[in-house]
């Protein structure tokens, strides 16, 4: 048996900095507050719709009237940025997702109203992707033998992005993961005299099981195959930096890593590789897992949400897109 050695600490005692709450707050390295948060919304064509999403407690698909009302209330809590996802009219899903670019679509109409009601007090970001608008549920154009065509998908994506910009979106955020879409969208925005519209790239988007609840919300589950031929393989971190830097070269103003919690190393790597603003998307499955555990009394929701959001900020994210935003601010959890 080894002899037990008892040592006393040296001059350095890290606990001194933790002794009181005031001291801890004074030396805290990271913070999260309302200005860092972006709230996602699912907008449907029926103006008065308010359909709870069963797998995402507290989140609903809303029509224009309700979503505008909700965003107005959220503004009072300090949420100054929203990310809008759309949905076509009933029967509006087609092979090429053309409804995505309709000037009278749910997202386009909502952008117009939000800009009219809230002007520059609110940052309106729109998701640009075809999967909620295609009958097969893929993010691009699908061939009969099940391939998602890259270059052919750029045209409908570009049209969608320009339609959002024309409707008043401050920021368009392509989430499709086609190669070359950032350059194509930037050129088209400039040609359409939308040179002030920002381009936030979902540059690093992994093929993740954490999108499960979202697909119920957006009704966008692929009818055949999966998204692994365009979304990233989560075994890869170096490739994530390549994706990010390529989008910087193509003209992105702002980058995103998605999901957030299993990818804190990737957030850190992208943060160090680029000087652009960087958002992290705390996705539906990350939200639903916390909600389910909290509903069972297995986790303290307030404390877990604070810890998750601070962890994402500490990893290097400037903003966090999160369904927890309203609860966190209302409950003063941060």
- Binding residues for Zn ion, per CB under 5 A? 129, 131, 139
Binding-site partner at residue 127 among ligand PBG, Zn ion, none, CB < 5 to 8 Å by type: ligand PBG
* Residue 21 annotated in active site: no
Binding partner of residue 106 among Zn ion, ligand PBG, none, CB cut-off 5 to 8 Å per kind: none
Q: Is 148 one of the binding residues for ligand PBG (CB under 6 A)?
A: no
Taking CB under 6 A as the rule, does residue 284 contact ligand PBG?
yes
Peptide bond into 97 cis (omega under 30): no
Residue 207 burial by Cβ neighbours in a 10 Å radius (0-12, 13-18, 19+): middle
Smallest gap from residue 18 Cβ to ligand PBG (A): 35
User: Nearest Cα to 75, choosing from 40, 121, 129?
Assistant: 121
Nearer to ligand PBG by Cβ, of 85 and 313: the residue is 85
User: CB of 62: closest distance to ligand PBG in angstroms?
Assistant: 16
47 is catalytic: no
Query: Taking the CB of residue 60, how many other CB atoms lie within 10 A of it?
Result: 18
Angle at 245 between CA 241 and CA 249, to 5 degrees: 170
200 part of the interface to ligand PBG, by CB under 6 A: no
Give φ, ψ of 107 to 5 degrees.
-70, -45
Q: Which is nearer to Zn ion, 66 or 279 (CB)?
A: 279
β-strand pairing of 148-149 with 141-142: antiparallel
- Write the Ramachandran bin of 249: left for phi over 0, alpha for psi from -120 to 50, otherwise beta: alpha
Least Å from the CB of residue 5 to ligand PBG: 51
Shortest distance (Å) from residue 229 CB to ligand PBG: 13
List of E strands, the chain: 37-43, 50-52, 60-62, 81-85, 123-128, 141-142, 148-149, 171-174, 198-205, 254-258, 278-282, 319-322
Q: Which of 258, 291, 330, 332 is catalytic?
A: 258
Residues 81, 283, 290, 309: which binds ligand PBG (CB under 6 A)?
Answer: 283
Active site residues: 205, 258
Residues forming contacts to ligand PBG in the complex (CB under 6 A) are 127, 129, 131, 139, 175, 211, 214-215, 220, 227, 283-284
């Amino acid at each position: 048996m080894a002899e037990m050695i008892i040592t006393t600490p040296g001059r350095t005692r890290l606990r001194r900095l933790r002794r009181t709450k005031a001291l801890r707050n004074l030396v805290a390295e990271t913070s999260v507050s309302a200005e860092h948060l972006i709230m996602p919304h699912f907008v449907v064509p029926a103006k008065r719709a308010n359909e709870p999403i069963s797998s995402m407690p507290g989140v609903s698909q809303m029509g224009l009237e309700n979503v505008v009302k909700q965003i107005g209330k959220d503004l009072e809590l300090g949420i100054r940025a929203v990310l809008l996802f759309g949905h076509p009219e009933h029967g509006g899903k087609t092979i090429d997702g053309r409804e995505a670019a309709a000037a009278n679509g749910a997202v386009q109409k909502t952008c117009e109203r939000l800009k009219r009601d809230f002007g520059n007090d609110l940052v309106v970001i729109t998701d640009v992707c075809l999967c909620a608008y295609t009958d097969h549920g893929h993010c691009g154009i699908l061939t009969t033998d099940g391939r998602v065509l890259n270059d052919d998908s750029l045209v409908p994506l570009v049209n969608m992005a320009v339609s959002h910009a024309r409707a008043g979106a401050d920021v368009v955020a392509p989430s499709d993961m086609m190669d070359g879409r950032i350059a194509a969208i930037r050129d088209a925005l400039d040609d359409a005299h939308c040179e002030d519209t920002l381009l936030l790239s979902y540059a690093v988007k992994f093929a993740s099981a954490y999108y499960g609840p979202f697909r119920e919300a957006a009704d966008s589950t692929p009818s055949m195959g999966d998204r692994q031929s365009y979304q990233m393989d989560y075994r890869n971190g170096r490739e994530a930096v390549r994706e990010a830097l390529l989008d910087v070269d193509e003209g992105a103003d702002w980058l995103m890593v998605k999901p957030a919690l299993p990818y804190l190393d990737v957030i850190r790597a992208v943060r160090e590789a680029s000087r652009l603003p960087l958002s992290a998307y705390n996705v539906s499955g990350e939200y639903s897992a916390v909600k389910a555990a909290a509903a069972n009394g297995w986790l303290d929701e307030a404390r877990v949400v604070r810890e998750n959001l601070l962890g994402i900020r500490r990893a290097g994210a400037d903003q966090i897109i999160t369904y927890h935003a309203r609860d966190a601010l209302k409950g003063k959890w941060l």
